[in-house]
Amino acid sequence: MPQEPAQERPRDAGQAAARARMAQQQSWVDLQVRQAMERGEFANLPGAGKPIEGLGATHDPDWWVKRLVERERITVLPPALQLRKDDATLDAHLDTLASEREARAFVEDFNARVIRARYTPVDGPPLVTMPRDVEATLEEWRARQAARRRTRVVEAPPPRRRWWRRRG
């Protein structure tokens, strides 16, 4: 039985040391806060002296989602309206793509979303957006790319003058 007290002593000593560290940590944190207050780091914080927003309101479990949507200005449209918007900006987005493969994949993805929306129950306004003809859309894209290449004028920069050749 003499072994049991010997085993418990290090454990008790460890718990006592942990309690002492916690007490020191609490006093250290208090010291840091007090020093920061003396330096004025808590002065003029945004919202100081104002009531806390939504403090007396009823509890809403989705409060953080609503604040995120409001802060990030996220707009969620019904599928039919989102597809209309995507259809209106499709050509402009295609013009930002560099290769025909990327443009083809983008148009095919758009068509897949339109077809998927046609076979799902209507949620919101009716879907009037039609799938795009991939080949015709890519032909228009090629024509716009060629026109941009023709209008792009490459100007040669003026020749640099070396410092040792400058005069007067």
> Rounded to whole angstroms, how far apart are CA atoms 79 and 82?
5
Q: Given a cut of 50, is residue 1 above it in pLDDT?
A: no
| Crossing angle of helices 79-88 and 100-118, rounded to 10° | 150
Q: Report phi then psi at 48, rounded to 5.
A: -65, 130
Give the chain's radius of gyration (CA, Å). 34
- How many Cβ atoms sit within 10 Å of the Cβ of residue 63? 11
Average pLDDT on 48-61 reads 78
**What is the pLDDT at residue 155?**
64
Which tops the pLDDT comparison, 78 or 139?
139
Write down the pLDDT at residue 60. 80
Cα(136)–Cα(101) distance, integer angstroms: 15
Convert the pLDDT of each residue in 130-153 to its tens digit: 999 999 999 999 999 998 888 776
Q: What is the pLDDT of residue 154?
A: 60
- Lowest pLDDT segment from 79-83, 105-109, 135-139: 79-83
Mean of pLDDT over the chain: 84
- Res. 103: pLDDT tops 90: yes
